[in-house]
Amino acid sequence: MTIYSIIFYILAILILVTTGMAITRRNLVHAVIYLIFSFFGSAMLFYLFGAPFLAVLEVIIYAGAIMVLFLFVVIMMKADAGKERLFALHQWLPVAVFGLVYIAIGMGIIATDPNSGITLKTARAAPRVFGQFIFENHWLSIEIVSLLLLVALAGALIMGRRSRRHSAAKTTNGEL
């Protein structure tokens, strides 16, 4: 078993665990944070497989832009974040552990000897060629995803306005 296969299995386990934690969290902000860790692990897998461009896209688009959109939706829905100002230690501990493991794996990937005898068949394409391929062959999928994101954002706006109206009506009638 080589160092690359060990790194692969560790990353796969971490991605599964962080995604599972994202699914099972009641606090939506914590779920988004665990999902960001899952996306970072996926980006490391892309980099490990010899696709640095896809790794960068994973970090910029998913861990960056999409997760910011999710956080805006969570904030607009006024999700219950708890009464504590800071997170408790038992909430920071898993995040810190996963973060340290990801940093260690990333440093291990960067520091490994490129001439270690592993030959990975890389498929290289310029970003322009990749973009042209995606938009020529999969344009309908891209449009469907963009439409779904627009509908999700509109739904969050409607739900946020509806909850504000109900809370304003309750306070004007003297009810809390």
Alpha helices for 25-138 (secondary structure H): 28-48, 52-57, 67-76, 89-111, 127-137
Q: What is the pLDDT of residues 104-160, one digit of tens each?
A: 887 777 777 655 555 556 667 788 888 888 888 888 888 888 898 888 888 878 877
- The pLDDT of 74-83, averaged and rounded, is 64
Contacts of 130 (CB under 8 A, 6+ apart): 53
* CATH code assigned to 3-123: 1.20.120.1200
pLDDT of residue 24: 82
pLDDT at 22 over 70: yes
pLDDT of residue 82: 53
pTM: 0.53
CA separation for the pair 17, 21 (Å, rounded): 6
Where residue 175 falls among pLDDT bands split at 50, 70, 90? low
pLDDT of residue 15: 92
CA separation for the pair 10, 101 (Å, rounded): 9
pLDDT at 18 over 80: yes
